Structure 1
Amino acid sequence: MSLLTLPKPDETILRRRDEIIRQLKKLVPDAVLITDAEGRRTFETDALTACRCMPLAVVLPGSTEEVSAILRYCHDNKIKVVPRGAGTSLSGGALPLEDSIVLGISRMTRVLSIDEANRAARVEAGITNIAITNAAAVHGYFYAPDPSSQLACTLAGNIAMNSGGAHCLKYGVTANNLLSVRMVLMNGEIIDIGGDYLDAPGYDFLGLITGSEGQFGVVTEATVRLLKAPEGARPMLLGFDSSEAAGACVAAIIAAGIVPVAIEFMDKPAIQVCENFAGAGYPLDVEAMLIVEVEGSNDEIDALLGTIAEIAERFAPRVVRVSKSPEESVSIWKGRKAAFGAIGQLSDYFCMDGVIPLSKLPEALTEVGEICRRHRFRVVNIFHAGDGNLHPLILYNANDRAELERAEMCGAEILKLCVKLGGCLTGEHGVGIEKRELMRVQFTAADIAQQMRVKGVFDPDWLLNPAKVFPLEGRERQ
């Protein structure tokens, strides 16, 4: 039985569809309203394409005030709302319900201000991740979180899932780089949370909101921390005869007190696919590869890469290659950044997202391989090795329903393994619907009940992003 099930729609809401659309047109005449079947089909799924559902309608507001008006109307009429950024969620976090309105903020993309003195940028939350760095680069700064989907994903989605990226090892994830948000509650109230600097006084509501998956409100603006661009940065490639040796090398680098900007892991299938796609010069005769990047002055970079090479020698690397030019560095990262798209040309896949302690990395890689072999699936491993955030890609045929359900079971077993090893269900993709029924693996009934009470404070009628995060069984408000 599939884990990716959705609750039955409210037939009363479905019957009122024409009336709801008329009212929305009157309420926010300047917003983009999509009601035709072809237009709505664009929003029937997100990057977790294994589950689809056509929404009642899609509305794309252009301001915080329009978001407020839409939410107030939906609140008063008990209409469910699914917030959406760019739809790059890999956990089904932006998946609509048949009786829901999709509220997308992709039109809200302005850079409102850049404060060089305080190293902060205030932006609308529909801006793409990479656009923030591009705007800051003119002033010599950058925005640290860099998910693989950064060319498309929005800041709002990053906040919802507390996204990370390759460089989160040194600079942290979204929560570590977010200063404040403007958020609209389900009843239409506009609130401001946080301040102009990290650790604003008072309760840490910003920490509560970041990673809440659109369950509490719709973020329309945010102030993010900018960092001074480093003097220089350079990656190196390390190739090994086994995934276990590569995993042990990662643990040894961190244990030595070295914090690279990034440590990325790719196994042999991933290396081959990405090399064919990007032509990055990856070694094809190794079983696993690490991309390790450090930054600083040229002398600092040379010293750090030299030390990392010495550590790696303990694990008998087949390849040790240091980038010698900016062009080579770009090529190395091009292969990694293009990985998910490259593998998508090969097969449908489930991109898993679990976290394990670094000391358990070799054991985790071995067991993930065994789990996939037992379920008769090929697996490709690409992940942020420095912080233990695993991303096994389970290759399957999405057109075969039985195989799809078997892939879901395989993925669930991998996530249960992460929890068993002392980790957790998600590092940066969120829970969504993908891991919703697995929440009981990590949390007790009391834990989940407390989390649901917090959700109820912000959204008493459970109208915002319903059927996500919490197990469906026993939830009367769905």
Structure 2
Amino acid sequence: MSAPLHVPHERREQVAAALRARLPIGAVLSDPEDTRPYECDGLAAYRQLPMIVTLPTNEEQVLAVLDVCRELNVPIVPRGAGTGLSGGALPIIDGVVLSTARLNRIVRVDDYARTAVVQPGVRNLAISEVAAQYGLYYAPDPSSQIACTIGGNVAENSGGVHCLKYGLTVHNVLRVRVATIEGEIIELGSEALDAPGLDLLAVFIGSEGMLGIVTEVTVKLVPKPAAAQVIMASFNDVVTGGNAVASVIAAGIIPAGLEMMDRTSARMVEPFVHAGYDTDAAAILLCEADGTPLEVAEEIERMTQVLEAAGASAIAVSQTEAERMKFWSGRKNAFPAAGRISPDYYCMDGTIPRKNLAQVLTGIEQMETTYGLRCANVFHAGDGNLHPLILFDANQPGEFERAEAFGAAILALCVEVGGTITGEHGVGMEKINSMCVQFERAELDAFSAVKRAFDVPMLLNPDKAIPTPHRCAEFGKLHVHHGAVPFPELPRF
């Protein structure tokens, strides 16, 4: 649907009044000063004031919002903590933002079954904090885990530094309870080992709020390892470092975490967290082993041998838990640390086969010259999930447009080598044009058909993730076409 340039006052008041009749005081925000905090998510380059923001506190109130919006034909943008990086929670000018932040109750933890039932507004890290008393934790650990919510993790199929061994959100969620646009409650998946019928849970996880509103999630918990250590391996060039990643996996080793940072990333992070990084190395790998003390010692020894044979110029191993956490703190703070060396950064997200890491990193290095911008590379090397941080200054005319074009070129390269345009950040608004690079029209039509099966009126997060035929025809395989920006109707910065 096409968004209007402005919303008539009468329409805003009509929708607000209908929502206030169904929701408690304080659960409906319509004044611009109240809705401004919701104008963007973690992709702050694009902003749009929502018409209305709703803050339900239980499932019944979520259904009430859906009822009103369905009856009045109002688009709905679901929102968790707003930490997403692809514009998936970008408001629609004539739409309602449905925030699940107040559905933040941990319903129960079952230490025998090793599961936790939580509402979507529960923070990722809070699950592990509660489960710690049972010697358990929730494995997926996005860098924003201190703030991001499980509902948002389900929407984006989030991962984290330990996703190589323990999997993404889709591998750690057993069941979701969903409110549909028709006002029904359905359950996908099961707390049993399998669920009857089609695997709609896997379809729903990563659907970016386009199929329904999560009201409850059952997650798997895993035992906290008795021991863990991290190797920091240094390399004199990124190609050797990239090839070392493939060597570790080829040796039959599945580390708990396998992350890579280039020199630019290490140097921007080290003054910020004092992690002890080798800032002279062209690239560093962080390789973690966890398990029993004997298992950890054996895996550390094997990985050390593989890394040395792969060309590591130096190797350091964490000797205490505090040192291990320091090593990881640098990696997890890479995004905020970018502010130390650049006024702005544009965080991309693409996934490639591990064997092509060196090729793609070399390609990104060449693109720095092409686009006249620096790029800091920090990523989940073990599963090939790249997070290039393109550094730019929004105050300089044309730099953001160059950063976008740089990012689109990186995604096109990911597709060219057999990868994908996103690993865990989602498509949202950011990569919607790149979907035309990744998929043929028939495939995009199939995606649209899945959405229509869940959302006949097409009100849930419309115009996100799946490009229309017109958009693909207009932009083709280019993110910026004939000098046009992707979303000219949206204010930037």
Q: TM class, shorter-chain normalised?
A: over 0.9
17-26 or 89-98, larger mean C-alpha shift: 17-26
Select 1:461's aligned residue among 457, 463, 482: 457
The SS at the match of 2:218 is strand
Alignment deviations for residues 1-48 of structure 1 (CA, whole Å, 9 cap, x no partner): xxxxx9432767764101211111111125622222122110001110
The SS at the match of 1:236 is strand
The number of aligned residues is 470
The SS at the match of 2:398 is helix
Write out aligned runs for 1:165-184 (5 A). 165-184=160-179
- Unaligned runs of 5+ residues in structure 2 are 472-493
- Unaligned runs of 5+ residues in structure 1 are 1-5
Partner of 1:76: 71
1:379 and 2:375 matched = yes
Q: CA shift at 1:68, angstroms? A: 0.4
Q: State the distance in 1 between where 2:3 and 2:369 align.
A: 35
Partner of 2:201: 206
Select 1:276's aligned residue among 271, 275, 285: 271
Write out aligned runs for 1:221-232 (5 A). 221-232=216-227
The SS at the match of 1:292 is strand
- Specify whether residues 146 and 333 from structure 1 end up closer, same or farther in structure 2 by C-alpha distance, changes over 3 A only: same
Select 2:258's aligned residue among 256, 260, 263: 263
Select 1:57's aligned residue among 39, 52, 56: 52
Contact 1:266 1:289 in 2 (8 A): yes
Contact 1:241 1:288 in 2 (8 A): yes
Q: State the distance in 2 between where 1:370 and 1:176 align.
A: 36
1:393 and 2:409 matched = no
Contact 1:437 1:472 in 2 (8 A): no
Q: CA shift at 1:205, angstroms? A: 0.7
The SS at the match of 1:474 is helix
Contact 2:7 2:94 in 1 (8 A): no
- Specify whether residues 401 and 112 from structure 1 end up closer, same or farther in structure 2 by C-alpha distance, changes over 3 A only: farther
Alignment deviations for residues 243-282 of structure 1 (CA, whole Å, 9 cap, x no partner): 1111110000001110000001000011011101001111
Q: State the distance in 1 between where 2:235 and 2:388 align.
A: 18
Contact 2:268 2:340 in 1 (8 A): no
The SS at the match of 2:147 is coil
- Specify whether residues 65 and 30 from structure 1 end up closer, same or farther in structure 2 by C-alpha distance, changes over 3 A only: farther
1:423 and 2:443 matched = no
Q: State the distance in 1 between where 2:391 and 2:330 align.
A: 19
Partner of 1:407: 403
Write out aligned runs for 1:191-340 (5 A). 191-340=186-335
The SS at the match of 1:16 is helix
Partner of 1:3: none
Identity of aligned residues (%): 45
Q: State the distance in 1 between where 2:226 and 2:336 align.
A: 31
Q: State the distance in 2 between where 1:273 and 1:159 align.
A: 31
Q: State the distance in 1 between where 2:94 and 2:340 align.
A: 34
- Specify whether residues 387 and 14 from structure 1 end up closer, same or farther in structure 2 by C-alpha distance, changes over 3 A only: farther
Q: State the distance in 2 between where 1:381 and 1:354 align.
A: 12
Alignment deviations for residues 45-92 of structure 1 (CA, whole Å, 9 cap, x no partner): 111011000000111100011000110110111001100000011000
Partner of 2:487: none
> What is the letter of the counterpart of residue 238 of structure 1?
A
411-420 or 29-38, larger mean C-alpha shift: 29-38
Contact 1:31 1:61 in 2 (8 A): no
346-355 or 245-254, larger mean C-alpha shift: 346-355
- Specify whether residues 353 and 14 from structure 1 end up closer, same or farther in structure 2 by C-alpha distance, changes over 3 A only: farther
> What is the letter of the counterpart of residue 316 of structure 1?
G
The SS at the match of 2:302 is helix
Select 2:98's aligned residue among 95, 103, 106: 103
Q: CA shift at 1:317, angstroms? A: 1.7
Contact 2:441 2:469 in 1 (8 A): no
- Specify whether residues 13 and 468 from structure 1 end up closer, same or farther in structure 2 by C-alpha distance, changes over 3 A only: farther
Q: State the distance in 2 between where 1:362 and 1:322 align.
A: 24
400-409 or 285-294, larger mean C-alpha shift: 400-409
- Specify whether residues 150 and 12 from structure 1 end up closer, same or farther in structure 2 by C-alpha distance, changes over 3 A only: closer
The SS at the match of 1:27 is coil
The SS at the match of 2:231 is strand
Q: State the distance in 1 between where 2:451 and 2:79 align.
A: 18
Contact 2:154 2:170 in 1 (8 A): yes
What is the root-mean-square deviation of aligned Cα atoms in Å?
A: 1.4
Q: CA shift at 1:304, angstroms? A: 0.8
Contact 1:355 1:424 in 2 (8 A): yes
The SS at the match of 1:436 is coil
